[in-house]
Structures are given as C-alpha cells and as structure tokens.
Amino acid sequence: MQTIINAFPYLMEGLQVTLYIFGIAIVLGFLLGLVVALLRLAPFKILNWIAKIFVDAIRGTPFIVQLFFIYFGLNSLGFFSLDNTTAGIVTVAINAGAYFSEIIRAGIQSIDKGQTEAARSLGLNSTQTMRHIILPQAFRRMLPTITNQAIISLKDTSLLSVIGVADLTQEGRIQASATFDAFNVYLILGIIYFIVIYLLSMLASFVERKFVLR
Amino acid sequence: MSMIRVENLKKSFGDLEVIKDMSTVVEEKEVICVIGPSGSGKSTFLRCLNRLEDISGGHVYIEGTDITDPKVDINKVRQDVGMVFQQFNLFPHKTVLQNVTLAPIKLKKGDQKAAEKKAYELLDKVGLREKAKAYPGELSGGQKQRVAIARALAMDPKIMLFDEPTSALDPEMVGDVLDVMKQLAREGMTMVVVTHEMGFAAEMGDRVLFIDGGYIVEENVPKELFGNPQHERTKAFLSKVL
C-alpha cells in the first residue's frame, strides 16, 4: 500500500502530460480530419487523390512505425529537431486525423442530398451550405464514432513512452521498477486510464443528448 | 421581358437523354402547371430552371439573365427563384423560425429582427405562427410543406417553382397546401408547378404544359388542354388520370 501512495504523485504528473498531449493532439487531429475530408469530397480529382493517399498511408501502417518515422526518421534528416513530446503530439494528431477524416466524410455523405438542394435553391453558396446546413447535422450523427476514435487516440498516447515521453505509462514503468511492485503499479495505471476514458465517454454522451437531432 | 424563357433546353444524364428539346416562355404573374407521366422529364425540366441540374444544351433566361452562362452568379439568381420540394427538405436541426430566417440573415437581406418579423408574417400566411419554435420533426407533412413554402418566400422571390409539392402528403393534408398555393397565385406570384393534382391545374393554371418523352408535347389553357387535347399522347395520359 505504501508503495502505491509513494508512486501516486508521479503517476498524477504523468497523467497531466498524457492529458496535455491528448488535448492538443485531438484538436489538431480533428481539424486535420476536417480538412482531409473536405479535400476528399472536393470537386478536384487531384485533391481527392492526395487525401486518399494520406488516409491509406496512415491506415496501412502501425502507429509505432509512424512514431519512429517522425521522431527518429525525420530528425535524422537534420533539417529540424523535434523533441519527443512534440513528435508524439504530431504523430497522434496525424494518426487521429486520418481516421477522423473518414468519419467526417461518411457523416457528410450520410446527409440527404435534398438538404443541399434546399440550401442552394435559397441562394446559399456551397461553403455556406456546408457550414450552416450539412456539417451541423453531420457532426451530430458522427459524435459516437468520433468519441470512439478519441478514446483510441488517448490509449495510443501510451505508446509515446517508448520514445521517452514522461506520460502516464512512462511514469508507471519508472515507478514499477523503482518500487519493485509491478503488479500494483500497473493495476493502478490501468484503473487511472479506465477512469479517464470513462469520464470522456460520459462527457460525450452528455453532449450527444444535448444536441440530439429532433 | 419574360420572367422565364426556355430555348431548346436539353438535359442528359450520361447517355440518358431526359430532356430532348423544350422551349417555352413564362410571363410575369402567370401560373404554369406541368403535367405528364413519371419519368417524362417534368421534374428535371423544373430543376433546370434554377440550375439545380447542370444544363446540357440550350438556354434558360431568368428575367433576361442567361443562367447557362458560366459567368452568371447563380446564387444571386436563385435568390429570386424560390423552390418547394416533394420531400420538403426542411433543415431538421433548426426550428421552424430558423428555417425561414436562415437564408435572409446569411444572405444579408436585413438583420435578424427584420428577418424574424417577416418570418412571423409568412408563418401567419401559411397558418403556422404557433409552430415557430417547433422543430420540423414535430410537424405533420402538410405543416412541413407549408413551412417550406414560407422559407422560400422569405427571400422575396419573383418566381416560385413547385416540384410535386403534394405528392408526399396524406390526402387530408393536400388541401391545406393547395390553399396556400392558390392564395399565392391570386396575389400575382409567377409560379411553375409540377403536379399530379389535375384539379389544381384546371382551376389555377393560366397554362398547362403536358410533357412526355423529353418534349413539351402540348401547351394550352387548361380548359382546352383538358377538354380538347390535340395529341394522341395527351389524350392517352388524360384518359388514365382523369
């Protein structure tokens, strides 16, 4: 019990890092996903292609390889040097962005064509139609899948411990070896992740209920 | 100047030629009813009038502006051409009031206050003022379609297009919607109405267009077209629906 009490403050520090990385990466990832989805649906073949190649590349490779590529691979070129936290945020954002873009694309396409026609017939241009009519409806529909991807991305942040980011998992590893109580430390680690993810899904279902489509 | 002038309109979907050659003119305050069998191209004809369909050939002039000209600001033209759809297409995430005020506010036809005042007047006109704060999902089909009419009127259009406005309604709802359309017609709105309601066409139409096989087969005042059709195809169609 004492080992856990001693380890706990370190784990909380790690949790802060995890939430910080997750918070920034998920917002960037969502914006990236929105841009990629719109490119994917744009009336220009070349843009569709670029978006599709990006999504396929991310979906077709493991997260850890993407992380190594960005942290070790890009840094080895010598043009710039990303610290491990930045590299981690970038990787999580790019990875989530690819998945988000597919969710957003499907959401946009699920909205009835009549909605676009009604908006355009009133004189709204395509940007106004997307912004005021299509996206608000699409987002409500996407919310459960978006939550799901956010949870996956949160869990992916634990892999950043491999490049030495002092996140929750990394702090757990340090405490496990420092205290020689791996069983209890990793148990607590799991419980902390579980609680955070549980709170995240509660928040999501609250938002969902608030914005339910009538 | 005519409100609408259609010259040798053509429209194909891939290899399928839906509109082969149509020409007609609609004058100010005229009510034109378009009838014909399903698949004859009458909805496509209507949708070409505000370029919801890309036009394959010919010209469509709205108040003298050739909307087939790629340089034309189609969004501007559409502000003057209201459209009502068979499936209503109300915005489900907006209240009735927001449905009606959205376009005027976003397109800067006035501030929110003025738009709402106008919206309430229009909702009065279609008999749905008390539904202003409701969402479309809470309305019946007939109520939805009347809101859709109010929404289109909020932009002060000079022309109203109706694409089978009563076809998706329960029979007891049809009358309310037709009454609103009749009132509009009496107030002098220029209207093009694709419809299966022969009664409405006979009563309100200044002219009736019979469309079949991608052509305007026959075009006449309702009394003549219904009472004394000239073409075999018109006769055959009318014998089935009347």
- Complete domains list, chain A, with CATH: 17-165 (1.10.3720.10)
Look up the domain containing B193 and give its range.
1-237
In a domain, B182, yes or no: yes
Report the pLDDT value the prediction gives residue A213, as an integer from 0 to 100: 55
Structural domain total, chain B? 1
Q: Are the CB atoms for B19 and B214 separated by under 8 Å?
A: yes
- pLDDT tens digits, one per residue of A104-142: 999 999 999 999 999 999 999 999 999 999 999 999 899
Q: Which residues of chain A have pLDDT under 70?
A: 212-214
Contact B89 A112 (CB under 8 A): yes
Q: Which chain A residue shows the shortest CA-CA distance from B135?
A: A214
Check pLDDT > 70 for residue B49: yes
How many angstroms away from the CA of A105 is the closest CA of chain B?
A: 19
pLDDT at B166: 94
What pLDDT score does A1 carry? 74
Q: Is the pLDDT of residue B242 over 90?
A: no
Mean pLDDT of the B182-195 span? 96
Q: Is the residue at B39 inside a domain?
A: yes
**Looking at chain A from residue 107 to 146, which residues have their Cβ under 8 Å from any Cβ of chain B?**
112, 114-115, 117-125, 128, 132-133, 136-137, 140
Is the dihedral angle over the CA atoms A28, A34, A35, A40 positive or is it negative? positive
Shortest alpha-carbon distance between residue B229 and chain A (Å): 34
Residue A71 burial (10 A CB sphere; 0-12, 13-18, 19+): buried
Q: Which two tokens stand for residue A135?
A: 């996206």
Instruction: Tell me the whole-structure pTM to 2 decimals.
Output: 0.86
Judged by a CB distance cut-off of 8 A, whether residue A187 touches chain B is no
Residues from chain A contacting residue B50 (CB–CB below 8 Å): 121
Q: What would the two tokens of residue A17 be? A: 């890092």
Tokens 């609250």 correspond to A206
Burial A31-54 (b: 16+ CB within 10 A, else e): ebbbebbbbbeeeeeeeeeebeeb
% of chain B surpassing 90 pLDDT: 95
- In chain B, which residues have their Cβ closer than 8 Å to the Cβ of A123? 75-76, 78-79, 103, 107, 155
Assess contact for B151 and B103: CB atoms under 8 A: yes
> What pLDDT band is residue B115 in, cutting at 50, 70 and 90?
very high
User: Which CATH number characterizes residue B179's domain?
Assistant: 3.40.50.300
Helix axes B112-125, B141-153, angle to 10 degrees: 130
Q: Which of B76, B78, B91 is nearest residue A121 as measured by Cβ atoms?
A: B78
Would residue B242 count as lying in a domain? no
B contact test, residue of A117, A121, A210 with most B CBs within 10 A: A121
**Averaged pLDDT for residues B193-199:** 94
Residue with tokens 């549980």: A198
pLDDT for A10 equals 92
Burial string for A80-100 (b: 16+ CB within 10 Å, else e) reads eeeebbbbbbbbbbbbbbbbb
- The alpha carbons of chain A give a radius of gyration, in whole angstroms, of 20
